[in-house]
Amino acid sequence: MTSCYPLLFQPILKQKVWGGRRLARFGKSLPPDESVRVGESWELADLATTSASGGGGEAAHSVIANGLLAGQTISDAARLWRHRLLGHNIYERQCARSNSETPPFPLLLKFLDAAEHLSVQVHPSPAYAAAHADAHLKTESWFVLDAEPMGGVEPLIFSGLRREIDERSLREMIASHRVQDALLSQPAVPGQCHTLPSGTVHALGAGVLVAEVQTPSDTTFRLYDWTKEYNRPRRELHLEQAMQCISFGDAPPPAPTWCSKTDSVARLADTGFYTIDELRFHAGEHRLEGARCYALMGVSGSGTVEAPDCEPVAISAGTTMLIPAGCADSTSIRGEAGLRVLRITLR
């Protein structure tokens, strides 16, 4: 039986009307035509279907790029390694949820580059998802990698509605192209993490580039798409579905800042589905702990990930790597000063 080892994947690039060209800075091979706007790099995906307006409608299964399983998919690794991929408890829970001995990987990891505002959108609320079998909850976290003005517009994170906004006033503001007046916003600051539970109205602002960690749902309801502001093609809106999902009056959680018991690890997100910790290296080693499944996303600098019985695997800005539970407790990350890594832990 093939031993577990750290997995790299071939990025799945998605062209978007709001996309840009900055993902090349994070090692992504963009089309040479400078007019092609790439908004998303799907780093780790395991979806049987996607929405036509989101992922394009087809399935998305990340292809492994290294080692003995190169050319096979994350689904193939799951069939081969079973609980050694996810860890015993998570594997059993995911099997029960999916009614399958090969459950899909329970996270979707991306890099997003917004040269223009993304649509104002919301994901299904628990009540809506319970009543609609084709709708799925989506909690997501954005870690800001870069933020720069685009066309004179300050880079912003839109997250939540002002407390005085109700359904009637929101409909009026959408109809009169004043939706930005209804949204809470804050400057996008590199290094900050913003977590958006299902039901939170949100939009990624122009000029912001993020690493995104989310539950594996592609169900998105658009309220507003900035067609007047950017003179871009009209896309489908989902106003009635969105209104059933919005958390009116609920302030979004504050963005975490760097705070920890040491100067090398900081908890940035803590949800019922995953946690995110930022690892900062001043030259040295970080050892993973326990038979748990981890994902790593490189933020800056360079280093290596070392596991038993395989060559060290390089990690740098833009690298996404999956550490199976079967080898996690013998795996370490080594980096020089400047290496920063997001460590995502399944729950």
Radius of gyration of the chain (CA): 20
In this structure, which amino acid lies at residue 22?
R
Alpha helices in the chain (DSSP H): 74-81, 83-86, 88-98, 126-131, 167-175, 227-230, 239-243, 325-328
C-beta of residue 184 within 8 angstroms of C-beta of residue 162? yes
Q: How many residues does the chain have?
A: 347
| Strands 120-122 and 221-224, sheet pairing | antiparallel
Catalytic residue among 37, 222, 280, 343: 222
Sign of the torsion formed by the C-alpha atoms of 304, 307, 312 and 317? negative
Nearest to 327 by CA among 277, 290, 275, 274: 290
C-beta of residue 142 within 8 angstroms of C-beta of residue 205? no
Q: Is 222 a catalytic site residue?
A: yes
Nearest to 165 by CA among 178, 150, 147: 178
Convert 141-162 to b/e letters by CB count within 10 Å (16 or more is b): bbbbbebeebeeeebbbbbbbe
C-beta of residue 299 within 8 angstroms of C-beta of residue 193? no
C-beta of residue 43 within 8 angstroms of C-beta of residue 62? yes
* Residues with active-site annotation: 222
